[in-house]
Structures are given as C-alpha cells and as structure tokens.
Amino acid sequence: MLLGVTLAGATVMGSRIHAFSLTTKKVQGVLGAGLVSGKAPGEHAREPGSPAETPAHGQRDRGPVLAAGSRQSRGGSQVDSDLTDKDKALLLGLARSAIRAKLAAGARVERAQELSPGLLEKRGCFVTLQKAGQLRGCIGTIEPVQPLWEAVEANALNAAFRDPRFPPLSTTELAAVVIEVSVLTVPRPLPFTSPEDLKRQLRPGVHGVILSRGRHRSTFLPQVWDQLPDKETFLTHLCQKGGMGSLCWKDPETEVQVYEAEHFSE
C-alpha cells in the first residue's frame, strides 16, 4: 500500500472527502483530497479497493470525500495563492488545536482574532494526518463551500476522528502526528477526444484528477503523482478506487476534471 494505504485517493461524503489510498469510503460531511469513488459528485466516495458508499446529500461535488494520503512534504506547490506564511502557520495551528481540544478537557481551539482575506475566502481543502510516515487519516472538501479556516478546522476533526479507514485518533498519538493541509483550486472539466489526448493533457505533479461516471466518482490529489508517476497507472488506480473498472478512463462516458493544490505541512 502506498503511504500505509491502498493508493492515495479520496472518498466523497456529504460536503467533504477523506484522503486515502486506492480505496475510498464515504464520510458524513467531508471530502478527501485523494481519490473519490463510489458516488456521484456531492456523494460520498471511496478509494479503489474499498466497498462503494451510498450517496450523500445528492448535491454534486458537495459531499465529504476520503482521499489517498499524500507524502509528507515540507515545501508547497507552485499554485498561485493569497496565503501568506503566517496564514499557513495559522491553519496548521488551527488544525492541531482543534484536534487537541477534542482530546483534552479544557484545551481550546486556537482561532485567530483577525483573519486575512485568504483565510476568509471559500476554498476546497484536505487535511492529511501522517504518523511515522504512514497515512493516519485524510478528509477534505473539493468544492469551495465554506471559508478556508472553517474548512480546515472541520476537516482536521474529520480526518482525526471520522475517517472510516482508521480508529479515532487517541491522545497518545497526537504528538507523533504530522499535519498537512492542501488548499485546492476549483475543479474544471478536462474534455478529451481519446485516451492518448487525455494522457497528453494531464500534468503529473500539478493536476489533481477527478473521474466521474454515473453515480461513481473518485479523485487523487496532485501529491499522488509522487507515488504513481506513470499516467496510465495513475488513471487505472483512480478508476479502480472509484469502482468503475480499471479502464474507465478510456471510456468517453467518463467525465474528467482537474484541479491544483497548494500543500504545506508542519
């Protein structure tokens, strides 16, 4: 398994997605940044290899998603962003304090008194937890449905306590966990005329990819290219994660969307 999971991916549930490997599971109110599978946009998705989930609220691209975990990365992506280094530090601190407050009586969530425009902007995002280099939880939201700071806080809690692939995070584990935040651009359709045309347009390391067909949907974050650099292998695993058949990416009925992500970690 990649990063301790099947193959980084995401499951869609409610409004968020869980990030994980090849298989994805739906999570109420959360979308993950890895692969989305098993549902139409707005429904819970699972990674390849995991059982399909039932639809969430029925709103396209608005359900929670499970995503494949990403490799720990100290650097960020090349995506243009309004986020400053201070914003990123605030988001990472917010994510950790939200988890700590859930675990420890009397602990408080560290929310900034004044928020920058970048933190107030509605953005899709994923929160990934890594422990000893292995995925420990990943859930996020693909669509920009709430202010970024709210989305990070909610996804941190979901990744820690509601990722169906793992037991809830314990107090003793928190110190060993490294938190990564991925902030997404709005997904856009990627029309293609043939499988070769699709491969030609994909940009490894840059594009996060969403595959949708009927009620099935799956996604991989851009970081998953580090694990699956070959385009055909990447697309095949993403199809499997969504329960759509390993060659679904060659089917003209399959819808393809791409997005980019700015990711940063503790």
In the chain, where the domains are located: 1-266
- For residues 33 and 47, the answer to whether their CB atoms sit within 8 Å is no
End-to-end CA distance of the chain: 24
Residue 184: strand pairing partners: 124, 261
- For residues 104 and 96, the answer to whether their CB atoms sit within 8 Å is no
- For residues 24 and 37, the answer to whether their CB atoms sit within 8 Å is yes
Residues 16, 21: Cα–Cα separation, whole Å: 16
Burial letters 216-244, b for 16+ CB under 10 A, else e: bbbbbbbbbbbbbeebeebbbbbbbbbbb
What was the pLDDT predicted at 201? 98
Q: Which residue has the higher pLDDT, 178 or 10?
A: 178
What was the pLDDT predicted at 28? 28
- Residue 12, phi then psi, degrees to nearest 5: -100, 130
Question: Per residue in 92-133, pLDDT tens?
Answer: 999 999 999 999 988 899 898 889 999 999 999 999 999 999
- Between helix 148-161 and helix 85-103 the angle, nearest 10°, is 40
pTM of the complete model = 0.73
Query: In sequence order, what are the residues at sequence separation of 6 or more whose Cβ sits closer than 8 angstroms to the Cβ of residue 203?
Result: none
What was the pLDDT predicted at 177? 97
Question: Per residue in 161-200, pLDDT tens?
Answer: 999 999 999 999 999 999 999 999 999 999 999 999 999 9
- For residues 90 and 241, the answer to whether their CB atoms sit within 8 Å is no
Residue 220: strand pairing partners: 209
Query: In sequence order, what are the residues at sequence separation of 6 or more whose Cβ sits closer than 8 angstroms to the Cβ of residue 202?
Result: 190, 209, 231, 234, 258
Fold (topology level) of 1-266? Glycoprotein, Type 4 Pilin (3.30.700)
β-pair type (177-184, 255-259): unpaired
What was the pLDDT predicted at 104? 92
Question: Per residue in 46-95, pLDDT tens?
Answer: 332 222 222 222 223 344 555 554 443 334 455 666 899 999 999 999 99
Tokens of residue 6, six digits: 């099947």
What was the pLDDT predicted at 80? 65
pLDDT-derived band at 222 (thresholds 50, 70, 90) equals very high
Tokens of residue 29, six digits: 């109110």
